[in-house]
Amino acid sequence: MRVAAAQARCPWLDREAGVRKVVDFVGRAAAEGVELVVFPETFLPGYPIWLSEAGGVEFADDRQEAACAAYRELAVELSGPEVRVVVESVRDHGVFTYLGIAERGPGRGTVYCTLLAIDPVTGVCGVHRKLVPTPEERAVWSNGDGHGLQVHEVGGVRVGGLCCWENWMPLARHSPYAQAPDLHVSVWPGSTRLTGDITRFVALEGGVYSLAAGAVVDYADVPAGFPLRDEVLAARHRSPYDGGSAIAGPDGRWLVAPVRGEERLVIADIDPAVVRGARRELDPDGLRARPDVFGVSVDRRRGFPG
């Protein structure tokens, strides 16, 4: 199977432009013979970069509240037009797609960091809400649940995915491992600093192919009307969101080392038979998991409606 990370420049807080970008990269993936493509964390409508660049956790600050309100307003609803357009594109091109969105839940008040799995035939087949946002992210995102911790069958390849620092949570990683995946996907805001170690670590620990997808964010793309634009631009000379998309094999060696700064598809061919061979030495969901000693359960009930 040919797989790819869509390392794209994020049209920050521009949902319509973001959807066009997703549709464009799905089409590019199909033209390259890709069967599965992965987009970065909250690619629609963009990662909340001001949280780390402009004092986003300050309380009783009118401009911070206005920034959060603007972000919430542009979050994506599962039943909204943005998801419908992407589902149609996935169906037209026949490319299974993982897409990171900031999902606005019921009541319009709650926003989740969500990873959608979109099948070309059945449409949205997975909605995973990030279990625990990082301390800064909690200013805009709520805790998710275990409902979406599912592995999906894609053309004979079993695939599961996690968001950003969930990939450093041992029990969160164990959930897909226990479902015997061939490929693990991780989605990130976009940084070679974040993906360099964990992508290879997951490949070795899980005995899987490991694909990381990160965005490229240019601070110049922050729209003029955003309340904290000046603070974001003044924070540093260059955006740290430089991509970092990468693909490692089950032996932990790079098929494609982290890509810095480029906007492109990061592509590799994978073979499930290689995964089965790699698990000869370490099988994290088999006998070496010692089910007679350890027991792990996952509560897959949806925490809130939606």
Question: Backbone phi, then psi, for 222, in 5-degree steps?
Answer: -65, 120
- The arrangement of strands across the sheet holding 2-7 comes to 123-129, 111-119, 96-104, 36-38, 2-7, 264-269
Q: Which of 242, 53, 221 is nearest to 136 (CA)?
A: 53
Q: Which two tokens stand for residue 54?
A: 């402009």
Q: Which residue among 130, 137, 163, 231 is the active-site one?
A: 130
144 burial level (CB within 10 Å; 0-12, 13-18, 19+):
buried
Q: Which residue among 10, 21, 35, 41 is the active-site one?
A: 41
pLDDT value at residue 302: 87
Residue whose entry in the numeric block shows the structure tokens 């226990």: 178
Q: Which residue among 10, 103, 164, 166 is the active-site one?
A: 164
For the stretch 22-75, pLDDT in tens is: 999 999 999 999 999 999 999 999 999 998 876 666 666 788 889 999 999 999
Q: Is the pLDDT of residue 304 over 70?
A: no
- Residue 164 designated active-site: yes
Helix (H) or strand (E) holding 256, with range, is: strand 254-260
Domain spans of the chain, in order of start = 2-289
For the domain spanning 2-289, the CATH number is 3.60.110.10
Across the chain, mean pLDDT equals: 92
